Amino acid sequence: MVCLLFQWLESIEVRKSALQQKMLDIENEKDLFRKQKGYLDEELDFRKQSMDQAHKRILELEAMLFEALQQEDASRTPGLIKGEGRLSDLLTEEEKEELRRAMDQWKRCVMCELRERDAQILRERMELLQLTQQRNKELQESIEAQKRQIKELEEKFLFLFLFFSLAFILWS
């Protein structure tokens, strides 16, 4: 009987160490999720900065184009030769207005695409955040359950220790 109880104690110790190892593994997995979330945050910030810079560059180029057209119109003098090949000379007022409308429409499309991309990235990030929070909650619950199991094992171990001590005292 004593041998059986020692085997039972040994199996409890083995389970306790296995649960402690599992707790460590879960903590490591939790840290890995945190690191991945940080990496994704940095990547999103980088992409937002890149898109902002690209948008600023587009606006700058558009402004330069309109400024060039306006300067060309302002610098016209009556004595200039028509064959100089100025862009404003090649375009009629109707074509210039059409160019302005096309530019405005293009700008709206680009902005719409940027907003859609931002919204998609935000949705993906929210989904990832929710999954991470759910996994974090699951890990916390698992850790708590393992802590309870360890406490139960310690109580059983203490009970068996007291039982064997009493048995040893009475046997002697």
For the chain, the straight-line distance linking the first and the last C-alpha, in angstroms and rounded, comes to: 16
* Position 55, amino acid: H
User: Which stretches of the chain are DSSP H helices?
Assistant: 2-74, 87-90, 93-171
> How far, in Å, CA of 113 to CA of 23, rounded?
45
Q: Is the pLDDT of residue 81 over 50?
A: no
Which tens digits make up the pLDDT trace of 7-63? 888 888 898 898 899 889 988 988 998 898 888 889 889 988 898 778 777 766 766
- Contact between 112 and 97 (Cβ < 8 Å): no
pLDDT of residue 83: 47
Q: Is the pTM of this model over 0.85?
A: no
Mean pLDDT value across residues 140-148: 91
Share of the chain above pLDDT 70, in %: 79
Q: Is the pLDDT of residue 80 over 50?
A: no
Instruction: Please give the radius of gyration of the chain, using alpha carbons only, rounded to the nearest integer.
Output: 37
- Higher-confidence residue of 126 and 88: namely 126
Which tens digits make up the pLDDT trace of 90-130? 767 887 776 677 677 677 777 888 899 999 999 999 999 99
- Contact between 160 and 8 (Cβ < 8 Å): yes
> How far, in Å, CA of 73 to CA of 88, rounded?
7
